[in-house]
Structures are given as C-alpha cells and as structure tokens.
Amino acid sequence: MEDGVALLESEVRELVRRRGLDPARDTDGVRSLVAAVVADYDERSLAGLVPPLADPGAAAKEVVDAVAGLGPLQRYLDDPEVEEVWINEPGKVFVARAGRSELTTTMLTHQQVRDLVERMLRASGRRLDLSTPFVDASLLTGERIHVVIPDITRSAWAVNIRKFITRARRLSDLVAVGSLTPQAAAFLDAAVVAGLNVLVSGATQAGKTTLVTALAGAIPAGQRIITCEEVFELRLANRDAVAMQTRQPNLEGVGEVPLRRLVKEALRMRPDRIIIGEVREAEAFDMLVALNAGIPGMCTLHANSAREAVTKLCTLPLLAGENVTASFVVPTVASAVDVVVHLELGRDGRRRVREIVAVTGRVEDGVVETAELFALHDDRLERSGGYPSHPERFAQAGYDLAALLTAGDRG
C-alpha cells in the first residue's frame, strides 16, 4: 500500500502544479482532486497497471494530509482532544491532551521537520535562519507555531504547535465545564459590562486566552474592540473588532512592528475596548497609559498568583526607559487595574479560576493594595470578604453590586 500511496501523492502533486492550485488555501479543491485521482487509480489497479490500495479511503486521507496539510502531524491537528503538538527531535513527537503530555509513535526525519516548518511559515511572511533562530507565527488554520533551531538548540529543531481549542465564548461556557462558579461568572460579566479593567494571570496553558475570549463575550454589542497580540490567538465573536499582530524586521533589519507600537496605534482607531494578548516587557507601560486614557481594557500576564501579577505589572513598565520610575508606575497600576483573575492548571489537567482579587486603588508603603473577592476553598471557588472599587460603575451599568457579591451560587 505504501508504494500505491507514494504513486498517488506523486500524481496529485503534479496535477496541483499543472492546475495552479494553492494547497494551503484550497484544501477542498485538493480533496476533490484526490478523490478523482483515487477513483482513476482504482480502475487502473483492477487492470493490474498499478499496485492495489488496501484502503482507498485511508490512502486518500494520507495524500490530502501530505499535500494540503502537515503530513504525519495532521492527524493530531484534526483530533479535537489534542491541545498542542511539539517536536523535541525527529524521533520524539509529543502531544498534550487535557493538559497532560504523551509521547506519540510518530517518527520523522530531520528533513521532514524542516520541510514541515517551511510549509507552516510560507504564508506567515516570517522567516527562520541563523540570524533569526526563533520564530513565532500563526498558521492559516489558526494554530500558533514556535520554532527554535541550532545552535540555540543542541542539534535538532524544536517545534511547538498550539491549537487553541476555544470551547468557551461566554463565561457561562466556563461555568458549564467547572472552571468557574455561577456567582463568580456573574460578577465578572458585570465587571466587563461596567467597563472595569481586567488582568488575567496564570501559568502557560492555564487557559488565559480562553478566559479573555469568554470575558470579551460580555462586552456590549455596540462597542468597538481593538486587539494587539504578538501572534493572532484571540478569536472574538464580537461584531466590531479589529485584530492586529506584531511583525518581524525584514532581511535588511527594518520594518519591525513591536507590540508597543500596536498599542499606541490602537488608541488612534477609536476603540471602546483594548485587549492586549500578553504583556511581557516594556509594552506594559503603553498599556497602562492606554488604560489611564479612560479606555477599558484586558490583558494577560504570566504569574504564579494574582498578587504576583500585580507586583510584576509594577515592574515591567520600568523597562520602557530610565525616565519611567516606580513612583509613577505603582500608583498608575493601582488606579488602572481593577480586577485580577488568576488561573491554574492542575496536575489532573483541569483548568480553573483559583482566585479573583480587586485592586482597591490605594498604595501603602509602595505596595498596591488588593482585596480578595473569590478564592478556592476545599476545591471550590467561594466568595471572600473583599469588595471592588468603583461601585458606581456597576450601578451605572444597571447592576446591584452588593447583590452580586452576597448572592449564593446560582446554578
């Protein structure tokens, strides 16, 4: 059967070339072409002209994956349970399911890995070479790819493909899967509608992007959203939304568009909301400036707790320049951030909200004061004694804040 599949693939590739098809963008056209070639191949095999196919359907799928997909990796991208695929070396291909990693039986060659990466980067406009040994890009189908090559790695190319399986469009979807309680979801929904600024923190793969997507689902329909990301990850269902991503410098070293520039440009695009995919460096300063301009926003941040997220946000803006001081940043964080939602990824692979804290707006001895609103107790997110700032915003949006925080869980 392998000889037959190889022959099929060769014939399909030749027809794709002759007809000028773009396999990456016209998968349906490739499928139709493969179906026709397989039917013709079956007729020839009956006449003994070519080796027969034991399973024509499986052969067709393999050829489509090879020509229009990512070959041996495509089955993992098609599997809805697989969250991420990564290659440590050609003989070590891993996948993650439900937050847990597992070594697959897929065996590649060094050349196959290079060919797959080249195919993935072809439509992104991003490059990978000795001068740029890292690359972060999006595939046409929405997955995010990150690649590192030697001599940064020891000998093999390291590849990560993150699928972003977004199963939550609203906070109620997170309640349904047990990541959030109804009471906490009702509060966060009201906080977004009221225009509070929300910081989402957590470790890698804790579900930060999914939570931001769900929070964005609470933004009123008439508002305009501008998103700024290093690589496109957010997939918002909102009607009026513009997504922007960063750009690498070209071969001459010019043309780079960093995240700081995107945040500045977003302010010129009449936003009602700004969402920053993740702040890691000096762009935190520009985010604080935007939030203090009266435009509600959200962003994500890597941290081990909500308290650490606030502390980190007081440090990152200092990278923007020597003239940016803690005496400016700390009170600005206290006045700009309203709510911090911290997520955790448990050892069992479960993703859930671990705590929700409010930033009160006060600073004591150079430390931003926070108040715990919800926290995990006995494996359940329960109401704590804290109270958020800006109760008047909830009232203006038509919410009874006291009722939101004192009501029991509503199933």
Per-residue pLDDT for 344 more than 80?
yes
Q: How many CB atoms lie within 10 A of CB 391?
A: 14
* Distance, CA of 299 to CA of 278 (rounded, Å): 6
Which of 1-5, 69-73, 252-256 has the least mean pLDDT?
Answer: 1-5
Note the pLDDT of residue 230.
Answer: 92
Q: What is the pLDDT of residues 134-163, one digit of tens each?
A: 999 988 888 899 999 999 999 999 999 998
* Distance, CA of 237 to CA of 180 (rounded, Å): 21
Q: CA nearest 140: which of 234, 63, 69, 238?
A: 69
Q: CA nearest 145: which of 128, 131, 129?
A: 128
Note the pLDDT of residue 407.
Answer: 66
**Confidence (pTM):** 0.83
Average pLDDT over residues 95-118: 93
Q: What domains appear along the chain, each with residue ranges and CATH number?
A: 4-67 (no CATH), 73-162 (3.30.450.90), 171-407 (3.40.50.300)
Per-residue pLDDT for 326 more than 70?
yes
Strand partners, 377: 380
Per-residue pLDDT for 1 more than 50?
no
Q: What is the DSSP string of 124-151?
A: TT---BTTB-EEEEE-TTS-EEEEE-TT
Note the pLDDT of residue 68.
Answer: 86
Tell me the pLDDT band of 312, cut-offs 50, 70 and 90: very high
Mean pLDDT rounded to a whole number for the chain: 91
Q: What is the DSSP string of 65-119?
A: HHHHS-GGGHHHHH-TTEEEEEEEETTEEEEEETTEEEE-S----HHHHHHHHHH
> In this structure, are residues 299 and 289 in contact, taking their beta carbons and an 8 Å threshold?
no
Per-residue pLDDT for 409 more than 80?
no
Average pLDDT over residues 188-206: 95
Average pLDDT over residues 98-118: 93
Percent above pLDDT 70 for the chain: 98
The token pair at 163 is 């699928």
